[in-house]
A and B are shown apart, each in its own frame.
Chain A
């Protein structure tokens, strides 16, 4: 607008000239930034610069891929610690209504949230006028089959294999994120005024006899509460620790798996699985990464070769111009 414009003019023209007589108040500063002449690195992606990169990617990725692939394939041997998983399929733990149906405040031991759970827990918020602890659809649908593993001895006798319940949940979840309601009373007292989730057989304070694995900090419960990303998932159930270095944890032989069947999956066409697996530095068996690395490495190498050819041809045709200079 005219007025702003003029005001600016007057301001700029107004101040007296600096001593020395150069009356260039409007003169722009000669700084590298203002003149867009900051020193700069000016890389260009040409075949010449990219070629080595392609080869390097190929040379690095293929060995990595092979390494991963071999590691992944070696996992079947039952050595070292063995991890026992249960798997469910067609179970939508990632459904939005399901994912949000929890109260993190309550699970963190907040006494007010314990008695007045979040609305997000509906319709698993209250039962018979009592707040449900732990509230919500996730807690309500906690996996409650019991898996027991026995080794079948020579005389068909069953030796139970000790399954460790602790160490299956994230350390931070167990120690920070999940907490029982505060107090020194027995757990049952601390959960007073609440009721168990509808589908549960036992209240939350009776999940385990171990005080350190009971209530909200029961690790089976914590593991279940970490909702899976995909409808087919597995969750860590138990650890089978290696007794000594000389013997394999689960030596070859016959085993007997006893499942106490509580958890209904037929209604939604689901499946249950039990997985025993060892773990390498890169986790469980998964051929994907290894194959992907090998593939990408090879493609990259191949592209490098193609580019080299193109570059060579191009160079021959255009070099004449450069030489004449």
Chain B
């Protein structure tokens, strides 16, 4: 037989090109060696079935965790500073930087350790759960981790599969089982898997033990839906039987067995090689714009730090060149110091200055930022408005790193189906042979009890027409991959189909369900698939049985699917169903023109259309097809390609039967959301795989295109008439002319009654634009295309392949303005663009959870995007930008006086503040108020932000972290530092400030500066706070109180563990001095005055939109507020 020759060729190929085959593996089922001489396999080593999701073990936790933490640049920097402090004689004790670092590292380690402990627990639970093995014809219970490749495993109902199994047999007679993969990809629908044909008869342990087979399959790969393999079953001494194995034979670890008593399977991928484990890999890290500017600022500050240290070192040696200054009689060096090499000394001095000023880059900033992001993201998940009652789900935050990026979005790329639309399909009409049939129930807008009534719009067709019509309905009843839920099967076939039956059909495609349900209304009900026979109930309530011969499954490239069935009378039909563009070219017969015009009309109305065609096959033809398919199916390499070729060959010369139209309703408030986003200055692009007319209709419906929008088309149809070059140039001329006149006429451009452009482009045209040319003009097209896009208010890209969606996102992302992009989608085909965009949002949808799982944030409905961006994004952005700016500001205030002090202490690195103050300034005195601010601040009320989307423009392009803002904050910090230092300087210069004539020393000086600083810095934040809840009051006043209490305590006791008592009573003595109080009040006032002045003047003279809203709200909110001055 030809099968033997096939095996031989395969074996030959295997033996000949061994290196080509390293990526396949051979598994002996039940560890039984194949008959001698069959084939020589190289034994491979496989891991055991232990799942290790934990990162650490008990032993390597500390070294490994520390290593990973110090791989972060910031932590490493602080470690270096700490080590320098330990090694050289530095002005500050190592504690000052060691303690915060230790704190940060410990907290992180504890958090990671705890998470890892949880993972260990989960791993253990999983690795130790009992599994039934078949050994020597008996069932043995063992721990899951002892499972090895080749073991035969029995799984009972509702158990999860312990590893990836090849499905050998099931307790069901037809060799199928149902599986739910809810924990893998979130799809809770039951999927049917099929046992290997030749082994499905092995029902008992003894039987299965006698199975003698080997499995060849590819090495593990993470794609959950792809699998190719081959099983050789050895019967007696005959040649082995070869069967192809596909993903329908593979049961994945993590999936659960349903509605099947038990199954037997053989392990092929175990432990970390299972597809589930391979999918653990985390996604690439995305970084937000704020984080990037933060890092730039850090570099600036690092430069400032180094230049400060350099300046001081140089000045120190200039100043010391006079020996009486270097070593006056009262302050001698030790002999060792004197001996030291000059360069070494200079270098040590440089390091010491670095250490002295290192606080300018605070450790605590990183902790605070991370804490803010982590805690802040809870507000998103807690938001009641974003909770969907129907689904019982709220937003999910998969990463909190990008919170603030939500406030920076400039482009939104949205999927259409399931995102803009409900993906809740409703059968609208069908068109058979040019006659339009509308189910009565839907036509009148209400469901009638007599759902089988049909309203024929056209005159009743003739007898042959009626036959065609019934064939059409049968085609729709048979050409699908729907499963019927078992509950109904138990109840027996329902004679009278009713609406309660709706839930009975399960399919991965909602269109199919809608079609089959729609057909019910015409009297044809699909009952079930039993023993490879499809049963349906016809109009006369008779059961018709069709033998299912082949399924040519759906894929997004072909955009169609077919079934080959054999009727009870022995006729063989091929039914094909697919998108119009993929069916019409293959049709040779039927009323093509009429149907096509109907399809186009429906598409314009925004309906999803499908065409149905068929052909009859004579048995010989079928035999040819079967062999063709079989050949393609057993291929181990390029199976998909070969299958596609085979399908292409088979699905030809069809007879067109008719078309269907299914409505996909718009999601609730989709139009409102898009309108708001556009008002917020966000450009919305729709990327869909759907056809142009349908997609354009949806765009009109959701107000992406308006009545006055002028549509520009770059489509395949147009490109047939004109070259791409001409089309693009023409369009750019149109667009640029209007934008030029616009800038001339109206400067603001907001209220202008401007011409609004919408662009439509399809996948084929896009790939032409993206295609690199030999002559290098490709970039030209891209630039031109981008230019056009920039001037269009809305862009629709239809007929997009998943990768093209990502391509578009990338194109915009890398264009010269580097805009922040957001991609939102619900299906697996959106994953690539979700991963590509700066922010990826998944809609927790009906097409499974893959999008939600790969996204950064997931929301239940498209409408939630509005609040997510306009309110949460806005808040997150202003919060974190204030956090970053404030942190730099308060550390300029902190460190610059130290720098100034060096000029007065002979550049000797003497610190101005006590060690305790140095240590605690950032981690306790000034840390909580800003953290709380960054969690709670609402500069404008939530409702206002939602009502007035234009406010979003105020923060566009990282407005609060631009250089101007950064320099303002830094200068403010410098000014404050000057005020603190010289204020105290003139206070202390050559005088006494106590009423008993006693004098203060250097520590009192430093404490005065520090006190003024803590007060100023905290009050500055208080001035910036627009939302004072009791928590803010508590934390701001509380942290000032804490400073005072701490200082009283710190100076009030002789601390036995300290080697010095320099702070003893210093703070209290300072407070006992009247001028110190006066100075504190004065200096704080002076420090805050310019900032207040700037704020008031800016608000008065150049108010931003946000400030206008704030002011108007404030004035109207307080009836008496404007009163006294209004009378002036």
Contacts and interface: CB of A to CB of B under 8 A. Distances in A.
A307 B184 CA distance: 65
A322 B276 CA distance: 63
A72 to B, nearest CB: 9
Interface string A282-319: 11111011001100100110010001101110110000
Interface string A82-98: 01010100011111111
B333 A123 contact: yes
Central interface residue in A1, A51, A124, A307, by most chain B CB within 10 Å: A1
Contacts of A170: 998, 1065, 1069
Interface in A255-281: 264, 267-269, 277, 279-281
A57 B988 CA distance: 24
A232 interface: yes
Contacts of A286: 986-987, 989, 991, 993, 1075
Interface in A36-82: 36-51, 57, 61, 64, 68, 81
B610 to A, nearest CB: 34
Contacts of A228: 999, 1001-1002
B1028 A40 contact: yes
23 contacts: A26-B387, A27-B392, A36-B379, A42-B1114, A42-B1117, A45-B1096, A92-B331, A94-B904, A95-B905, A105-B1059, A118-B1059, A141-B330, A229-B1005, A229-B1006, A230-B988, A267-B328, A268-B325, A283-B994, A286-B1075, A292-B1082, A296-B1089, A312-B1128, A322-B1112
A28 interface: yes
Nearest to A286: B991
B58 interface: no
Given A2-B280, A104-B1059, A172-B1065, A282 B1002 contact: no
B447 interface: no
Contacts of B1092: 45, 50
B1100 A239 contact: no
B95 to A, nearest CB: 15
Interface stretch (B476-484, B571-579, B618-626, B1119-1127): B1119-1127
A142 to B, nearest CB: 9
Contacts of A81: 997
Given A46-B1114, A137-B331, A289-B1078, A279 B382 contact: no
Given A40-B1028, A177-B1064, A289-B1079, A95 B908 contact: yes
A37 B871 CA distance: 13
Contact of A307 (B381, B1096, B1115): B1096
Given A27-B392, A46-B1111, A283-B1073, A83 B1002 contact: no
Contacts of B987: 286, 288-289
A35 B1122 CA distance: 31
A93 B330 CA distance: 9
Interface of B: 53, 91, 119, 122, 183-184, 276, 279-280, 282, 324-325, 328-335, 378-379, 381-384, 387, 389, 392-394, 398, 853, 875, 904-906, 908-911, 936, 938, 941-942, 983, 985-1002, 1004-1006, 1023, 1026-1032, 1054, 1059-1062, 1064-1065, 1069, 1073-1075, 1078-1079, 1082, 1085-1086, 1089, 1092-1093, 1095-1097, 1099-1101, 1110-1112, 1114-1115, 1117, 1121-1122, 1125-1126, 1128
A36 B879 CA distance: 14
A155 interface: no
A176 B1055 CA distance: 12
Closest 7 CB pairs of A and B: A141-B330, A229-B1005, A83-B997, A96-B908, A229-B1002, A34-B382, A226-B1001
B122 A230 contact: no
Given A95-B910, A172-B1064, 5 more contacts: A94-B904, A97-B331, A230-B1005, A282-B995, A293-B1078
A314 B872 CA distance: 33
Contacts of A83: 992, 997
A6 B379 CA distance: 21
A38 B1031 contact: yes
Given A38-B1031, A314-B1100, A64 B1078 contact: yes
Contact of B992 (A42, A57, A283, A303): A283
Contacts of A236: 992, 997-999
B1100 A310 contact: yes
Contacts of B1095: 45
A235 interface: yes
Contact of B1027 (A42, A47, A176): A42
A23 interface: yes
A230 B989 contact: yes
Nearest to B985: A230
Given A45-B1095, A230-B988, A234-B990, A141 B996 contact: no
Contacts of B1073: 283
A247 interface: no
B1062 A104 contact: yes
Contacts of A283: 991-995, 997, 1073-1075
A150 interface: no
A227 interface: yes
A310 B381 CA distance: 45
A30 interface: yes
B42 to A, nearest CB: 33
B331 A264 contact: no
A189 interface: no
Contacts of B335: 123
A218 interface: no
Interface residues of A, number: 116
A279 B992 contact: yes
A29 interface: yes
Contact of A96 (B91, B119, B996, B1110): B91
Given A268-B329, A289-B987, A281 B1074 contact: yes
Contacts of B1001: 226-229
Contacts of A38: 936, 1029-1031
Contacts of B1128: 308, 312
A104 B1055 CA distance: 11
A40 B1073 CA distance: 38
A94 B384 contact: no
A238 B853 CA distance: 80
B1064 A47 contact: no
A24 interface: yes
Contact of B394 (A27, A49, A140, A315): A27
A37 B910 CA distance: 48
A302 B426 CA distance: 73
Contacts of A235: 999
A68 B991 CA distance: 15
Given A3-B53, A26-B394, A45-B1092, A99 B910 contact: yes
A231 interface: yes
Nearest to A10: B183
Contacts of B1112: 322
B988 A229 contact: yes
A217 interface: no
A127 B73 CA distance: 48
B115 to A, nearest CB: 8
Contacts of A122: 334
Contact of B909 (A1, A96, A285): A96
A123 B330 CA distance: 11
A127 B524 CA distance: 113
B1078 A36 contact: no
Nearest to B1025: A43
Contacts of A93: 1002
A169 interface: yes
A57 B394 contact: no
B1075 A48 contact: no
B329 A267 contact: yes
A293 B1082 contact: yes
Given A97-B908, A236-B997, A282 B1074 contact: yes
A143 to B, nearest CB: 10
B1075 A176 contact: no
Contacts of B1000: 226, 229
